[in-house]
Amino acid sequence: MTTTVADLLALPSDWIREPVQRIEAFLRQLAPLDFEGVPLYVVVEQELPPHWQRVATALGYTSPTLDAALQDHIGDGWRGRGPAMVVRFDVLRHFYLTALHEAGHLLEREALYDELAPNETATTEAQFIAEWAACENVVPTSGPTAMVPFWQHERAYIRVTLHLLYRARQIEATGDAWLFGPYEEQMGLVSNVSMLCAGETYQLSDIERYMGALGDEPKRMADQPFPEIRNTKPPRAFCNLWRRDVWGWLCKAKAGLDRGQMNELLGRLQERWPYIFPD
Ligand SMILES: [Zn+2]
């Protein structure tokens, strides 16, 4: 019997707690040293107030101070500052991969979360998120229609996310990963990975090609914390693939642009220059 999304959404709202707890536990399994002793908040977008929901533009999001913004909503579950993500739950087959994608953002950062600036409070953070969520016609910052499709999903992000994927596959292979019990057939990790990072969405080479270029690094570093990985130089093949992808994209992108648009594009690229062209 196949369970449909409508069946799942018809379940009592408490039902949502279980998969959320499972995904939190699973993310901890993937990065045990990184998340040790730190609260990790996975929040389902459909449970947020309507004015925070941005159904049209993102499957999930995170920011270094998102937990503070969500503090009221987290309520009794609040255990102090910690990394947070919001994920949509209605696009079921994407729920799990979206959480994995957002975990990549958490672990690519220097710190799992940022201290609030002296003039910021949980309330100002919440207002900021609400305003951002309420924006209609938000121009996507990344993805096929963005000016720079791989914006904020650059080489360092791809590497971290591939390490997570490698670890997830190892756990999955033991047959003991399953997060959603009877719903697992809708969640197949292996079948949907193309949306995780790299690939067509970001106008880069396929995710498996990047995985291949990492060689045995994910295996060698499977028990290392992520700062250790970030502080190690990636394999040359991986760097070359990235550089070739970016230059290839740039050559194509600039072909259709006039001078003004080209300047705009270069300005945009410059903002992320060290991320796009790291050492
Ligand atoms: Zn992202």
Give the dihedral sign, CA 266/64/172/46: negative
In this prediction, residue 13 carries a pLDDT of 59
Question: What does the pLDDT look like over 218-238, one tens digit per residue?
Answer: 999 999 999 999 999 999 999
How far apart (Å, rounded) are the C-alpha atoms in residues 205 and 198? 6
Between the CA of 188 and the centroid of ligand 1 the distance, in Å, is 20
How far apart (Å, rounded) are the C-alpha atoms in residues 184 and 36? 27
- Average pLDDT over the chain, rounded to an integer: 85
Q: Do 13 and 47 meet the contact criterion of CB atoms below 8 Å apart? A: yes
Between the CA of 128 and the centroid of ligand 1 the distance, in Å, is 19
* All residues at 6 or more sequence positions from 166 whose CB lies less than 8 Å from its CB, including other chains: 211, 218, 219, 222
Between the CA of 105 and the centroid of ligand 1 the distance, in Å, is 7
Between the CA of 85 and the centroid of ligand 1 the distance, in Å, is 11
CA 136 to chain centre: 22
Between the CA of 204 and the centroid of ligand 1 the distance, in Å, is 15
Token pair of 4, please? 């449909």
In which band, very low, low, confident or very high, does the pLDDT at 27 lie, cut at 50, 70 and 90? very high
How far apart (Å, rounded) are the C-alpha atoms in residues 32 and 107? 12
Between the CA of 153 and the centroid of ligand 1 the distance, in Å, is 6
Between the CA of 107 and the centroid of ligand 1 the distance, in Å, is 12
Between the CA of 1 and the centroid of ligand 1 the distance, in Å, is 33
Domain map of the chain by residue range?
1-138, 139-279
Between the CA of 106 and the centroid of ligand 1 the distance, in Å, is 10
Question: What does the pLDDT look like over 40-94, one tens digit per residue?
Answer: 999 988 888 877 776 556 788 899 999 998 998 899 999 999 999 998 876 666 7
Between the CA of 151 and the centroid of ligand 1 the distance, in Å, is 9
Between the CA of 244 and the centroid of ligand 1 the distance, in Å, is 22
How far apart (Å, rounded) are the C-alpha atoms in residues 239 and 166? 19
Question: What does the pLDDT look like over 187-214, one tens digit per residue?
Answer: 555 456 778 899 999 999 999 999 999 9
Count how many Cα atoms sit within 13 Å of the Cα of residue 128 in the half-sphere of its side chain.
14
Question: What does the pLDDT look like over 101-148, one tens digit per residue?
Answer: 999 999 999 999 999 888 888 888 788 777 777 776 677 788 888 899
Q: Is the pLDDT of residue 151 over 90?
A: yes
In this prediction, residue 272 carries a pLDDT of 92
In this prediction, residue 181 carries a pLDDT of 46
Give the dihedral sign, CA 164/169/172/173: negative
Between the CA of 2 and the centroid of ligand 1 the distance, in Å, is 30
